[in-house]
Structure 1
Amino acid sequence: MSPKFLCTAISGLLTLALSVFLSCELSAQPVPPAQLVPPWPVLKPSRDRQPLPGTQPLLGEHDFADVILNGVDQFLQQKIDQSKRNRPRPDSQSSGDRRSRFGNQLGLHRDQWVDNGQFSRLGGIAAAPTEIIGVRLTKVSWSAFAGVQGFGLLLQPAKTPVANVILIPDADQDPLEFVVAAGNESVDGGPAWALANAGCRVLIPLLVDRSINRYRLTEREWLHRPAWELGRTLTTYEMHQVRAAIGCLQRLPATGSGKCLLGGWGEGGRLAMYVGAVDQRVAGTLISGYFGPRDSLWTEPAERSVFGLLNEFGDAEIVSLLGNRGAFIEHCPGPTFGYRLDEDGEIQILTTPAGLPGKPGKLPQFDAQAVNDEAQRIANRDAIELIHRPSPLSSETLQAWLNLSGVAATIDPNAVVNASDQTLRQSLQLRPYQERLVEQLRRHNQWALNDSRRIRQARMKALDTSSIDAYADACEPLRREFAEQVIGQFDDKLLPANARSRKYQEGPLTVSYEVTLDVFPGVIAYGILTLPKDLSMEGTEKRPVIVCQHGLEGRPQDVIGESKFKAYAAFATRLAERGFVTFAPQNFYIKQDRFRLMQFKSNSIGRTLFSVIVPQHRQITDWLAELPFVDDQEIAFYGLSYGGKSAMRIPPLVPRYCLSICSADFNEWIWKNAATDPASLRYSYANKGEYEIFEFNLGNTFNYAEMAALIAPRPFMVERGHFDGVAPDETVAYEFAKVRNLYQARLGLEDRCEIEWFVGPHQINGVQTFEFLEKHLGIAKP
């Protein structure tokens, strides 16, 4: 190549490079490299804020999640207040019926307490009883129920006892503290010693304490969580232990009066009140440091929850179940305990993740007026005595209780234990048995988890699948049970929707609107409606709608564009680009403690978070169905994560949903909530921070296969990433196999039930699910 040609070539290249550079610099709209084009839809705020035709203008700038949370919280508080006013009078119904309903609320019928047991000495023959001034003290155990024991101290006078007494300490007390005052070197006698010294045979049971375990939960909440999912509570278990102990006492040599009294302080007072209400063998009950109004039950520790308690029972109504058997109520300082309290000593209500995984809870302290007001509602006031004392279980209190119960015995206020405090603590302390007690109860929860599969299977076998119509009829009783007893429903009628809207964002192919709808007084629904730009709003054509539901701590904005695109893939907008109408609602599982504590408010009156979410979706689907461009027969649901939980719970109760897709949530749900073995705890909620997730008695009624059965015969699909950490593939497949069997083998609906397995994590994949929607809703790919 000649030097002249080389110079000419170089000069040409330089000229070309300069022209390209200048054209790029001077161009008003340069074309970006392909790799800089974002994967999410590019959406811009709408300059035009006009409302959707047929709706009113939506005014003001609001955090609509806050608006909904505030409205629902106030609505629930009003319902709690109403529950107290609307409770049936205790004397308006038979005590037997009310006693049975109270027991059923606690799940007492699910396990049978041992009614023919006897005490065994702890430590074997070598552990001889301790004799002190005519009273024998023995560490004992007894069979309580289903492989679970009770543990306690038994005090027996040398003479024929005048009565049997079970005196229950607070959960954080060792039973020995009722024999001698804790840490008291003068070994003054405690209340149990005073009763034994007066001639009573006394049993002091050991309760599960509130110590913090390796999962940073109290031991009581740790045991309560799986029990709740399986239709029981920790209180249920402790009631069985006490009731079995009554039988053991009755098998000992007879007492002079033949009576059995039951009393306690703090948690022990609560337990005494509950057992006394349901067990008529109890002749007199002492409730110390507990009785009061329960309107704020939701602020107490998780294990004190009773599903639907406040609809019929406050403390006054429970005491009324004692009838003429007598109740002695001692208003005095109760135990102090709090978990996750703020600097003012009140329960934390955080909107950011907390450092501890359990429910915030605090034991209440009631003033005299509050206790007096509650006591005024007790039905049989003649059999009740209420006193106010500066300290619990004084000799005056014990004497008055014996007198009220008709037991002829005299309490010596100066009774002391004539023995070395150190000797007593070495030989009689029961704290070492805490670990055994906790493990026995944990194992029973796991037995109940396994047994729940049998119970659910038996229920489903009874369904008539001979035809679609027969199946639909057979499902209706189960649907009512799901609505009324599992989810819980309010009788309030939906308000007129009074839709307000404003244009929100625009993309190349879509336009969206913010929308709010009235649901109940003070409660709204909010969401983002996204429309294809080629859709006529005049009603000349009607399109299917897909309701696209976000997950935990999410917002509608997360499912439409750049926000959280990695998880949601802007699936609401992508579906609108394919020709669908989409609506992304704001569900109120957001802002941490604010929504989680609402679950406990709801539970106290027999409701759940979904008791409000379901009506919100009824209002949403009713409004969507009225839009002129919507096909009212084709409104589908598609949700991720907590939105997947919604996909299992909402469509069974919202008939306008014509199909449901559960993404990144479908699972062997009862196992995920109740399993506590080490291998399962990687996935289980039992030790995690989602303390609201547990649903009372769901284990014996509706796992995800049973919920899907309530969606059938409508199409149903699961979207599952192999690397989704919510569960291993095998538990997802195990539960889905039951759904597939129902659709394909029993109902002959092979094309209506699918699962997509894809290589990916906890996210929307949007491949086979989009095809599933197009197949069943009739829109072809562009």
Structure 2
Amino acid sequence: MASPPDRAAVAAEPRRRNLSPWASWSLHLRAVVDEDPCPDAADAVPAWRERVRARLAEMLGSPPPTAPLDPEVTDEVDAGDHVRRRILYDVEPTMSVPAYLLVPKARVAGPPGPAVLAVHGHGPGKEMICGLTGPAQEHYALQLVRLGYVVLAPDLRCFGERQDPQWSPEVHKYDCDWNLVAATMAGAVPLAQNLWDLQRSVDLLVAHPLVDPARIAVAGLSYGATMSLFLAATDDRIGAAIVSGYLSSWRAAHSVPWNLCGSQVLPGQLGRLEHLDVASLVAPRPILVESGTDDLLFPVDAARATVASLRRVYAALGADPDRVEHDVFEGGHRWHGTRTEAFLETAW
């Protein structure tokens, strides 16, 4: 029997130690392999898309209990070229939504026409996109009403009027992060909750006398683009989508530590549900993707690759690949809006 080695004479093996949870997650992100990637063979795409649809439904879970919308106009302001109405409506027995309904002066008396559901990103909520605060380049709800669309701009959970009063910047970066903690304990998914609120917002638009139900679009930047994409993917009543500063890939977008939000993730999504997968469910409806060349959060190279793949998906499904438009502009993470008018004019 061999004698044990002299421990003092054996060179110590170097150990790789890490104390950073984010560094550990970064390694995990880079190692993720898609378990069901989009197939190259066109005839296999339809079945793949149905598997995507099933996975997404599983991750979203069951919808919450519903309630009558019971809409109420609480304020009306003459904003010059349009009327801005603050409205409240119920989406659950215990949850209401505040929103602005922007109506062009030329459409106040009808007849029914096109409408856009404008979804805000991280920030002050509906106030900014309706032009009441912030830089003009973020006022996309205001841009849309001035193009002649009836616009509904709700506050998502934890933003705007739905930000809880006990929030403080010293304790919380975003309400949506602690909301994820509470939702996790309750077995709920914040993205699914906000998606439900937007689907109920579509219900409100469909029932509105100034809106043609066959001509409803959705538009948003960043977090608003996340929700716009998921809404278009899950609700066929959305006839067109503008997704600004988002469509790329989970792996590319989440390589930045602070580019994470409790309202934009789904349990078990890595390796099972990519940006392309969700976007495939929008076909054959038109989608306009905006990408800034200097966007550090959603890199343009990843966006270009995903858009190219999405066009192939459209073609495989018998849809016109030109219905996927990509506006790549010089700039960072912001709304561009230069192709909005032309895109929506030809959407229906």
Q: What is the DSSP-based 3-state SS (H/G/I as helix, E as strand, rest coil) of the residue aligned with 2:209?
A: coil
Q: Secondary structure at the match of 1:596?
A: helix
Alignment map for 1:284-299 (pairs within 5 Å)? none
How much does 1:584 deviate? 0.8
Question: What residue number does 2:7 align with?
Answer: 127
Cα drift, residue 691 of structure 1:
5.7
What is the aligned counterpart of 2:149 among 567, 570, 580? 580
CA distance in 1: counterparts of 2:333 and 2:214, whole angstroms: 31
Q: Which amino acid aligns with 2:53?
A: R
Report the equivalent of 2:167.
none
- Measure, in 1, the Cα distance between the counterparts of 2:226 and 2:147: 26
Does the CA contact (< 8 Å) of 1:617 and 1:654 recur in 2? no
* Equivalent residue number for residue 236 of structure 2: 655
- Are residues 1:712 and 2:295 paired? no
Q: 1:761 to 1:564 in 2, by over 3 A?
A: same
Listed one character per residue, the Cα deviations across residues 462-488 of structure 1 (whole Å, up to 9, x for unaligned) are: 88578xxxx4x8644432320222x33
Post-superposition shift, 1:689? Answer: 6.7
Residue 62 of structure 2: aligned partner: 489
CA distance in 2, matches of 1:776, 1:220: 45
Question: Which whole-Å deviations, capped at 9, do the CAs of 1:151-186 have from their partners, x for residues lacking one?
Answer: 9xxxxxxxxxxxxxxxxxxxxxxxxxxxxxxxxxxx
Look up the SS of the partner of 2:347 in the other structure: helix
Give the Cα separation in 1 of the matches to 2:211 and 2:23. 48
One-letter amino acid of the structure 1 residue matched with residue 251 of structure 2: I
Spell out the pairing of 1:34-45 with structure 2 (5 A cutoff). none
Q: Pick one of 96, 103, 123 that aligns with 1:531.
A: 103
Asked if 1:547 is matched to 2:127, the reply is no
Contact between 1:546 and 1:635, CA under 8 Å: does it hold in 2? yes
CA distance in 1, matches of 2:91, 2:119: 18
Displacement of 1:600 after TM fit? 2.8
Say which of 532, 550, 571 aligns to 2:140. Answer: 571
Unaligned runs of 5+ in 2: 164-172
The answer on whether the counterparts of 2:219 and 2:228 sit within 8 Å (CA) in structure 1 is yes
When residues 646 and 659 of structure 1 are mapped into structure 2, their CA distance, relative to the original with a 3 A threshold, is same
Q: CA deviation at 1:512?
A: 1.3
Q: Which residue type is aligned with residue 31 of structure 2?
A: A
How far residue 582 of structure 1 moved from its aligned partner, in angstroms, is 0.7
**CA deviations over 1:224-269 (Å, ceiling 9, x no partner):** x45xxxxxxxxxxxxxxxxxxxxxxxxxxxxxxxxxxxxxxxxxxx
* Cα drift, residue 718 of structure 1: 0.3
- Out of 734, 737, 760, the residue aligned to residue 331 of structure 2 is 760
Spell out, residue by residue over 1:20-74, the C-alpha distance to the aligned partner (whole angstroms, 9 max, x if none): xxxxxxxxxxxxxxxxxxxxxxxxxxxxxxxxxxxxxxxxxxxxxxxxxxxxxxx
Higher relative contact order (CA 8 A, sep 6+): 2
Deviation for aligned residue 1:125:
4.6
TM-score (norm 1): 0.39
Aligned to 1:456: 36
What is the rounded CA distance, in whole Å, between the counterparts of 2:137 and 2:80 in structure 1?
23
**How big is the shift at 1:605?**
5.0
Residue type at the aligned position of 1:607? A
Q: Which amino acid aligns with 1:488?
A: G
Distance 1:502 1:571 in 2: 23
Aligned residue number for residue 245 of structure 2: 664
SS in 1 for 2:70: coil
2:169 maps to: none
* Aligned-partner Cα distance in 1 for 2:21–2:140: 42
In the superposition, relative to structure 1, how do residues 663 and 616 fare at CA in structure 2: closer, same or farther (>3 Å)?
same
| Equivalence for 1:478 | 52
Superposed CA deviations along residues 706-731 of structure 1, whole A, max 9, x for unmatched, are 11101111111101222223243212
Task: Give the deviation of 1:776 after TM superposition.
Answer: 1.0
The 5 Å alignment of 1:35-434 reads 125-127=5-7, 211=19, 219-220=20-21, 222-223=23-24, 225-226=25-26
CA change 1:659–1:464 in 2 (3 A) is farther
Q: 2:216 aligns with which of 632, 635, 649?
A: 635
Name the structure 2 match of 1:775. Answer: 346
> 3-state SS of the aligned residue for 2:107?
coil
How many residue pairs were aligned?
Answer: 332
Q: Secondary structure at the match of 2:218?
A: strand
Separation of aligned partners in 2, 1:599 and 1:461: 36
Give the 3 Å change call, closer, same or farther, for CA 759–546 of structure 1 in structure 2: same
Structure-1 separation of matches of 2:186 and 2:53: 20
Return the alpha-carbon distance in structure 2 between the equivalents of residues 603 and 462 of structure 1: 39
TM superposition shift of 1:638: 0.4
Alpha-carbon distance in 1 for matches of 2:259, 2:277? 26
Determine helix, strand or coil for the equivalent of 1:670. helix
- Partner residue, 1:501: 73
Q: Residues of 1 paired with 2:119 and 2:234: CA distance?
A: 16
Q: Which amino acid letter does the alignment assign opposite residue 52 of structure 2?
A: L
Alpha carbons of 1:464 and 1:635: their partners in 2 closer, same or farther (altered >3 Å)? farther
- Give me the CA root mean square deviation: 3.1
Going from structure 1 to structure 2, the CA distance change for 1:221 and 1:757 (only over 3 Å counts) comes to closer
Cα distance in 2 between the residues matched to 1:643 and 1:554: 12
Task: Work out whether residues 494 and 619 of structure 1, in 8 Å CA contact, stay in contact via their aligned partners in 2.
Answer: no
Match of 1:557 in 2: 127
Note closer, same or farther for the CA distance 1:463–1:593 as it changes in structure 2 (3 Å cut).
Answer: same
SS in 2 for 1:583: strand
Give the match's secondary structure for 1:700.
coil
Question: Against the structure 1 CA distance between its residues 460 and 603, is the aligned structure 2 distance closer, same or farther, given a 3 Å change threshold?
Answer: farther
TM superposition shift of 1:543:
0.8
Distance 1:221 1:582 in 2: 39
Distance in 2, Cα, partners of 1:672 & 1:595 = 18
Q: Distance in 2 between matches of 1:518 and 1:535?
A: 26
Residues 588-633 of structure 1 deviation map (CA, whole Å, 9 limit, x = unaligned): 2536343212213323455321121111111111111011121011
Rg (Cα) greater in structure: 1
CA separation of 1:489 and 1:448: change in aligned 2, threshold 3 A: farther
The AA in structure 2 aligned to 1:661 is I
CA distance in 1, matches of 2:227, 2:29: 26
Query: Is the alpha carbon distance of 1:603 and 1:221 closer, same or farther for their aligned partners in structure 2, counting shifts above 3 Å?
Result: farther
**Amino-acid identity (%):** 22
Do 2:98 and 2:154's aligned partners in 1 also have CA atoms closer than 8 Å? yes
Task: Deviation per CA, 1:253-288: give whole Å up to 9, x if none.
Answer: xxxxxxxxxxxxxxxxxxxxxxxxxxxxxxxxxxxx
Contact 1:464 1:474 in 2 (8 A): no
Q: Would you say the 8 A contact 2:252–2:298 is kept in 1?
A: no
